Amino acid sequence: MLKSVVRGCVLAGAPLLLGACATSSFNGYVSASPHDMKVVEHGGYSPAAMAQIAIVQNPDFNGGKISPKALQKIQEYSISCQRQIDAQLAGSGQSGLNGAVPYGLAGLGVGPAAKAAFAGASESAYALYGGIAYVLPGAVNGLITGSYAMASAKGTCTRDFWEDIVRIDPDFRGTHVVVVYAGKAAGDSIPPALLDRPAAKPVSR
């Protein structure tokens, strides 16, 4: 019985490892590292800094191109928002537990249900089975819900900060921040309007 419980807990914890993947459903938990901040300070593009947002450019302004100055400022705001939001919202561990515990408790109901439906069924055995079986989907649901909340908060914060200053510099005209609630594109997620910009390329460590 103990081995089964441990196995269930391990399975429930597995999705937590996905919390650092910006291309997954858990990108809300991603936050830029000190190295990412250096990349941004050098005019580069950091996928971690952009994990919860996308940048689009109105083609009728600035030749349809996002200026390096706008890219850098938006990423700086995004990193600031990540740090401020991380300190206030539930992280991946807490979010996983928030889903796993109620689902696990609900799964215990399989015991009484089995006893009522099948003669000779062991209520305790079925309750243990139900509890463990519900833990993993509960943890995943908690992670996704928590990540969505994180991505929404971080992305909205970045967009709001950007709107505070977007009208003060002609280079910022027509550039908009869009909140990304789930995963970014795998591999190359650089905004198309930046493809011919040297500032869009990450700097080496």
Q: What tens digit of pLDDT does each residue of 48-101 get?
A: 999 999 999 999 999 999 999 999 999 999 999 999 999 998 777 777 777 767
- Give the pTM: 0.76
Task: Enumerate the H helices of the chain as residue ranges.
Answer: 2-13, 34-41, 68-86, 92-107, 110-117, 123-165
Beta bridge partners of 178: 54
Q: In the predicted model, is pLDDT for residue 44 greater than 50?
A: yes
pLDDT for position 204: 54
Distance from C-alpha of 180 to C-alpha of 78, rounded to nearest angstrom: 12
pLDDT for position 32: 95
